[in-house]
Amino acid sequence: MTPYRELSREQLQAMKAELEKQFEEVKAKGLNLDMSRGKPSKEQLNLAMGMMEELKSTDKLKCETGVDCRNYGLLEGIPEARRLLGEMTEVVPEHIIIFGNSSLNVMFDTVSRSMTHGVCGSTPWCKLDKVKFLCPVPGYDRHFRITEYFGIEMINVPMTPAGPDMDIVEDLVSKDPAIKGIWCVPKYSNPQGITYSAETVKRFARLKPAAEDFRIYWDNAYCIHHLYDDHQDFLLEILEECEKAGNPDMVYKFVSTSKVSFPGSGIAAVAASPKNLEEFKKHMSVQTIGHDKINQLRHVRFFGGIVGMHKHMKKHAELLRPKFEAVENTLEKELGGAEIGTWTNPKGGYFISFDSMEGCAKAIVAKAAEAGVKMTEAGATYPYGIDPHDSNIRIAPSFPTLDELQLATEIFVLSVKLVSIDKLLAEK
């Protein structure tokens, strides 16, 4: 395909006229397609329906230590659930606490607690003049909404193919004691699908922060969410690396089964050093007498162990893989060589990241919406919703049916072409 920039004004205008005709035909169909959020499809949710049969009213609902899961107790979670999620996130059960259904909730609480009570005896953040967080971009919008909610200043750190730009991270963290944390989705990152390299993980573990209460918020949301059996990314385990580097307390590692079982009724956990876990438990003991142990038991009995969980995730991959490939193939067929957009081809996770020509993302998303395709708002992958280049768009292939997704992607491509041609015509 000839790069669009090399086409004459007349060629671009002729192409635009034909594309506008196609767009109007699609628009007249009155479609309502959703590629906005990384929600599992109905077929994916159905994979875990057997979990509903695991517990009966006639069962003795006791965990392996004999504690009745219907009653109070076991603040840290039942032992077998700690073992299961420990295996999922590659830590020993003693280094993990089980929470409710949402890891996002745990992250929010952790920031909130740091604001009001500090971190392991340090000054509460609310008493400081300034609190800052580093935000790898593009990144997860809900992370940024948490720090914005608490009035924490967010600093963009560019992503590279190996993870966040560690030269920038090391420099900022070592010099500024107001920097208290960094958001990370280290495996199959949201939205680019990047997995941090071994060297990046080791550099994180060796950080020398100016703030004693600096923490890495390691949101390992997609740790077992592979799309392929034979092409899987590997992520070095961060807690072990921090221990080796003499920084055992520097990381909070979050995980959940939200996109493994049921997003609304999974189980979440945090893995951390003994010192950090004691801090968590001290506050939890005021907040709750214990999380939902019956749900923990249900998960353990359904999966049986990490082998069962991996088998289950292969079923997810079989549903997701054709969708990702449909989007990628359409983008390559329609835009390959045009030089009006680039995109990622992740090996796992839930998103494809698309970068348009600078200044076009908002217009593309608005154009797609005109034809009935709902997408994540342009700018959402940056703090404060401000993409300085107005170029990044997050594509979420999971929720629509394959036919709907194919149609939505074709409409998206039409929108990319039309907006890009308008930009090029304006420049000529």
pLDDT in tens, 120-130: 999 999 999 99
Tens digit of each residue's pLDDT (9 = 90 or more) over 77-132: 999 999 999 999 999 999 999 999 999 999 999 999 999 999 999 999 999 999 99
Pairing of strands 352-356, 341-343: antiparallel
Residue 20 domain-assigned (yes or no) = yes
Residue 266 domain-assigned (yes or no) = yes
pLDDT exceeds cutoff 90 at 213: yes
Residue 55 domain-assigned (yes or no) = no
Q: Determine the pLDDT at residue 59.
A: 85
Asked if 206 and 247 touch (Cβ cutoff 8 Å), the reply is yes
Q: Which of 47-61, 166-180, 384-398 has the lowest mean pLDDT?
A: 47-61
Give the whole-number percent of the chain exceeding pLDDT 90: 98
DSSP string, 68-81: BTTSS--TT--HHH
Residue 56 domain-assigned (yes or no) = no
DSSP string, 79-109: HHHHHHHHHHHT--GGGEEE-SS-HHHHHHH
Statement to judge: residues 273 and 231 lie in one domain: yes
Residue 109 domain-assigned (yes or no) = yes
Query: Distance of CA 205 to CAs 244, 250, 269, Å?
Result: 8, 8, 21
pLDDT exceeds cutoff 90 at 255: yes
Statement to judge: residues 107 and 121 lie in one domain: yes
Asked if 306 and 385 touch (Cβ cutoff 8 Å), the reply is no
Angle of CA points 21, 25, 31, to nearest 5°: 140
pLDDT exceeds cutoff 90 at 212: yes
Residue 50 domain-assigned (yes or no) = no
Statement to judge: residues 135 and 272 lie in one domain: yes
Statement to judge: residues 155 and 297 lie in one domain: yes
pLDDT exceeds cutoff 90 at 343: yes
Domain that residue 93 falls in: 63-304
pLDDT exceeds cutoff 90 at 181: yes
Please choose, from the candidates 160, 157, 142, 253, the residue with its C-alpha nearest in 3D space to the C-alpha of residue 205.
253
Tens digit of each residue's pLDDT (9 = 90 or more) over 38-55: 999 999 999 999 999 999
pLDDT exceeds cutoff 90 at 395: yes
Asked if 298 and 55 touch (Cβ cutoff 8 Å), the reply is yes
Last residue of a domain, one of 275, 304, 333: 304
Statement to judge: residues 337 and 372 lie in one domain: yes
Please choose, from the candidates 261, 409, 385, the residue with its C-alpha nearest in 3D space to the C-alpha of residue 323.
409
Last residue of a domain, one of 256, 289, 304: 304
Statement to judge: residues 191 and 212 lie in one domain: yes
pLDDT exceeds cutoff 90 at 37: no
Statement to judge: residues 287 and 314 lie in one domain: no
The structural domain count of the chain equals 2
Statement to judge: residues 148 and 261 lie in one domain: yes
Residue 52 domain-assigned (yes or no) = no
Q: What is the mean pLDDT of the chain?
A: 97
Statement to judge: residues 254 and 381 lie in one domain: no
Q: Is 288 helix (H, G, I), strand (E, B) or coil?
A: coil
Residue 78 domain-assigned (yes or no) = yes
Q: Determine the pLDDT at residue 240.
A: 98
What is the spatial order of strands in the sheet that 163-164 belongs to? Answer: 96-98, 268-271, 251-256, 215-219, 179-184, 132-137, 153-160, 163-164
What is the spatial order of strands in the sheet that 392-395 belongs to? Answer: 341-343, 352-356, 392-395
Task: Residue 339: give its domain's CATH number.
Answer: 3.90.1150.10
Confidence bin at 428 (pLDDT 50/70/90): confident
Which ranges of 288-384 does DSSP label H, i.e. alpha helix? 293-303, 306-335, 361-370
Per-residue pLDDT, averaged over 217-243, amounts to 97
Q: Determine the pLDDT at residue 24.
A: 96
Statement to judge: residues 176 and 190 lie in one domain: yes
Per-residue pLDDT, averaged over 306-335, amounts to 98
Task: Residue 178: give its domain's CATH number.
Answer: 3.40.640.10
pLDDT exceeds cutoff 90 at 18: yes
Statement to judge: residues 298 and 325 lie in one domain: no
Tens digit of each residue's pLDDT (9 = 90 or more) over 119-155: 999 999 999 999 999 999 999 999 999 999 999 999 9
Pairing of strands 268-271, 341-343: unpaired
Query: Distance of CA 328 to CAs 8, 266, 410, Å?
Result: 28, 30, 11
Statement to judge: residues 332 and 296 lie in one domain: no
Last residue of a domain, one of 247, 273, 304: 304
| Chain-centre distance for alpha carbon 310 | 19
Confidence bin at 58 (pLDDT 50/70/90): confident
pLDDT exceeds cutoff 90 at 234: yes
